[in-house]
Amino acid sequence: MSDINALIDEQVKNNDVFLYMKGTPDFPMCGFSGRVVQILGYLGVDYQSANVLENQDLREGIKAYANWPTIPQLYVKGEFVGGADIVTEMFQAGELQSHLADKGIAVKQTA
């Protein structure tokens, strides 16, 4: 396993909710990342994140790790959930809230 894969593996497996994004939760650098941050914020979900713009190896590595070509990428309990469109659709349908609750993640608000 390459160093970047080991780092990604450690991040997604050692954090209940992890978001790979462009920018930071306080300063998203793209609209898609911003949308996922807004959803997680609305739900009051505690999560960790990594800014892929700071590390080109991470930016490319996460795409290969999930076999998913775009960023952001949301992981819950080590499992890839999806990108901005999937997370948005799940949130609007109430499925994201259910998925998080099923995994034991505290959700403070419901849509």
* d(C-alpha 101, C-alpha 13), whole Å: 18
Does 30 carry a binding-site annotation?
Answer: yes
User: What tokens does 61 get?
Assistant: 């590595």
Cβ atoms of 81 and 20 closer than 8 Å: no
The structure tokens listed for 93 are 């349908």
Helices 56-66 and 3-14: crossing angle, nearest 10°? Answer: 70
Per the annotation, binding residues are 30
Annotated binding-site residues for [2Fe-2S] cluster read: 30
